Structure 1
Amino acid sequence: MRYEITKKFKFEAGHRVWKQNLMAGKGAKLMGNEIPPNPCLNIHGHSYKLEVTVGSDTLNEQEMVIDFYHIKAALKDLIDNQIDHSFIIDKNDPLYPKFKEDFGFLKLFIVDFCPTAEAIAKFIYEFLEKKLEEAGLLEDIKIVSITVWETETGKATYKGEK
C-alpha cells in the first residue's frame, strides 16, 4: 500500500484466558525449571487500546485513503456499545454456563474463541473486513493490520491472509 492511515480506539473490558498453561506450548522451554502461576486464568481486565490501520494505493476524491470518521463509524457500535465495559467470554470456557446463570446482570460479550489479544485482533479484523465488503470498499481499501494493546508493554497484531 502506498498510503496508510491508523485510527486509535480505547475500551475497557474484562476477560479470562481459560486456556493459559505456561508449562505447555511453544514458550514452555523458555521457563527452565521455574513453575509459574497462570495469572490470566483468573478473571481480570484491561484498558485496551486498539489501532486500526487501513491502506490504499490511491487516494479518493478528497485526497484521503478514507476519512478517519468513517473508520470510527464502522466500529462504533462494536467498540462503544458491545465490547466497552463488558466481560469478554468464550462460550467454550468451562465457566461460561456459570457466568450466564449466576451473573446475568453482567454485560457479557460472548465469543467463540479464547479471548487473547491475538484472537481479539483477528475478530476485529474480520468484523471490519465484513463492513468494508458490505459497503463495496474492499476493492480500494485494504486492512493492513489490527493491533490490540492489553497493557502498555504488551500488544498483538493481526494482518490477515496474504
Structure 2
Amino acid sequence: MFEVRVTADFAAAHFLRDYNGKCENLHGHNYKVYAHVKGPKLNEGGMLLDFSKLKAALREVCKQLDHTNLNDLAVFDQNPSAERIAMYIYDGIIALLKKEGIDLSYSAGKTEPALYCVDVFETETSRARYRVDE
C-alpha cells in the first residue's frame, strides 16, 4: 500500500458549546491540516497521485475557514470541534476533486487512490482525525 500526505494551515477562532472549561470562551488556533491518500498501485508515472491536485484542494478548503469565527458557519451547528473541522475538510476535498474528475472517495477494496483521513492539529500536541477506512 502506498500513501501520500499534503499539509496546509489556517488561522481561525471558535468556542465550544456544551463544554465546561476554558475552551467554552472565544479563542483562536493556528490549525495545521494533513490530508492522507492511500492506494495499492502507482500510475504510469510511478506516482500514487499528483501532489499538486491534492494540495490545491486542501488549500482551497482551508482558505474558506481562514480568519473566520468557525461558530458563524452553519455547517458546524455552533460547535466547531476539531473532529467536525476534520470531517468538513475531508468532505470539501472530495467535492472539489470530483469537480475535476478525480474520485478520491473511499470504498473497501478500491484499487484507485482514496482520501482515507484528514488530521487537524489545534496545537502541536492536540490532533483530531477523521478517518473513513475502518
Structure 2 gap ranges (5+)? 105-109
User: 3-state DSSP class of the match of 1:122?
Assistant: helix
Q: Counterpart amino acid of 2:13?
A: G
CA distance change for structure 1 residues 137 and 61 in 2, over 3 Å: closer, same or farther?
Answer: farther
Deviation per residue, 1:37-89 (Å, 9 max, x gap): x1111000001000110011111122111111111222332212x11111101
Q: In the alignment, which of 26, 44, 51 is matched to residue 61 of structure 1?
A: 44
Structure 1 gap ranges (5+)? 22-37, 90-107
* Aligned residue in 1 for 2:3: 4
Q: In the alignment, which of 130, 136, 144 is matched to residue 116 of structure 2?
A: 144
Q: CA RMSD in A?
A: 1.8
TM-score (norm 2): 0.83
The size of the alignment, in residue pairs, is 126
* Aligned residue in 1 for 2:107: none
- Cα deviation for residue 161 of structure 1 reads 5.4
Structure ID, larger Rg: 1
Q: Aligned equivalents of 1:14 and 1:147: distance in 2?
A: 18
Identity percentage of aligned residues: 34
Q: Are the equivalent residues in 2 in contact too, given 1:122–1:160 (CA < 8 A)?
A: no
Q: Aligned equivalents of 1:109 and 1:9: distance in 2?
A: 20
1:112 aligns with 2:94: no
Q: Counterpart amino acid of 2:87?
A: K
Q: Counterpart amino acid of 2:103?
A: L
Q: In the alignment, which of 40, 50, 70 is matched to residue 88 of structure 1?
A: 70
Q: Are the equivalent residues in 1 in contact too, given 2:8–2:59 (CA < 8 A)?
A: no
Q: Are the equivalent residues in 2 in contact too, given 1:88–1:111 (CA < 8 A)?
A: no
Q: Aligned equivalents of 1:137 and 1:9: distance in 2?
A: 21
> 5 Å matches for 1:19-58?
19-21=18-20, 38-58=21-41
User: 3-state DSSP class of the match of 2:84?
Assistant: helix
- Cα deviation for residue 133 of structure 1 reads 3.9
Q: Aligned equivalents of 1:63 and 1:86: distance in 2?
A: 39
